[in-house]
Amino acid sequence: MEELSGTVLAGRSFDPIRGRVVVADGRIEAVEETDTTSTDIIVPAFVNAHTHIGDSVAKDAAAGLSLDEAVVPPDSLKHRQLAAADRSELVSAMRRTLRLMRRTGTVSCLDFREQGVEGARALREAATADVADAFILGSGDPAVLDVADGYGASGANDADFADERAACAERGVPFAIHAGEPDATDIHPALDYDPDLLVHMVHAQQAHLDRVAEQSVPIVACPRANAVLDVGTPPIRELVDHTTVALGTDNVMLNPPSMFREMSYTVTRFDVTAREVLRMATTAGAEIAGLDCGVIEPGRRAALVVLDGDSDNLAGSADPVEAVVRRATELDVKRVV
Ligand SMILES: [Zn+2]
What's the pTM value of the predicted model, to 2 decimals? 0.96
Q: Say if residue 137 is in the same domain as residue 177.
A: yes
Q: Say if residue 153 is in the same domain as residue 262.
A: yes
How far CA 252 is from CA of 16, 85, 265, in Å, comes to 33, 15, 17
pLDDT for 70: 85
pLDDT for 213: 97
CATH of the domain at 33: 2.30.40.10
pLDDT for 74: 81
Q: What percent of the chain has pLDDT over 90?
A: 90
Contacts of 49 (CB under 8 A, 6+ apart): 109, 110, 220, 246, 247, 248, 284, 285, 288, 289
pLDDT for 72: 84
Torsion angle defined by CA atoms of residues 74, 78, 80 and 84, in that order, rounded to the nearest 10 degrees = -130
Ligand 1 centroid to residue 14 C-alpha, Å: 29
Closest C-alpha among 215, 136, 208, 213 to residue 179: 208
Ligand 1 centroid to residue 176 C-alpha, Å: 10
CATH of the domain at 191: 3.20.20.140
pLDDT digits (tens, 9 = 90+) for 156-215: 999 999 999 999 999 999 999 999 999 999 999 999 999 999 999 999 999 999 999 999
Ligand 1 centroid to residue 21 C-alpha, Å: 35
Q: Say if residue 95 is in the same domain as residue 115.
A: yes
Q: Say if residue 15 is in the same domain as residue 124.
A: no
Residue 63 has pLDDT above 90, yes or no: no
Least confident span in 67-81, 191-205, 208-222, 255-269: 67-81
Ligand 1 centroid to residue 314 C-alpha, Å: 32
Ligand 1 centroid to residue 179 C-alpha, Å: 9
Ligand 1 centroid to residue 218 C-alpha, Å: 15
Q: Say if residue 310 is in the same domain as residue 166.
A: no
Residue 68 has pLDDT above 90, yes or no: no
pLDDT for 252: 93
Residue 126 has pLDDT above 90, yes or no: yes
Ligand 1 centroid to residue 155 C-alpha, Å: 9
Q: Say if residue 149 is in the same domain as residue 106.
A: yes
pLDDT for 321: 98
How far CA 241 is from CA of 11, 206, 244, 266, 271, in Å, comes to 21, 12, 8, 16, 11
Q: Say if residue 273 is in the same domain as residue 301.
A: no
Ligand 1 centroid to residue 156 C-alpha, Å: 13
pLDDT for 76: 86
Which pLDDT band, with edges at 50, 70 and 90, does 78 fall under? confident
Residue 81 has pLDDT above 90, yes or no: no
Domain endpoint, select from 272, 289, 306: 289
Ligand 1 centroid to residue 160 C-alpha, Å: 18
Cis preceding linkage at 74, omega within 30: yes
> What integer is the mean pLDDT of 242-268?
96
Ligand 1 centroid to residue 288 C-alpha, Å: 16
Q: What is the mean pLDDT of the chain?
A: 96
Number of domains in the chain: 2
Q: Say if residue 82 is in the same domain as residue 224.
A: yes
Q: Say if residue 158 is in the same domain as residue 205.
A: yes
pLDDT digits (tens, 9 = 90+) for 149-165: 999 999 999 999 999 99
Boundaries of domain holding 303: 2-45+293-336
pLDDT for 82: 87
Torsion angle defined by CA atoms of residues 129, 297, 13 and 269, in that order, rounded to the nearest 10 degrees = -10
Ligand 1 centroid to residue 222 C-alpha, Å: 9
Q: Say if residue 137 is in the same domain as residue 30.
A: no
Ligand 1 centroid to residue 72 C-alpha, Å: 10
> What integer is the mean pLDDT of 70-95?
89
Q: Say if residue 147 is in the same domain as residue 57.
A: yes
Q: Say if residue 16 is in the same domain as residue 78.
A: no
Q: What percent of the chain has pLDDT over 70?
A: 100
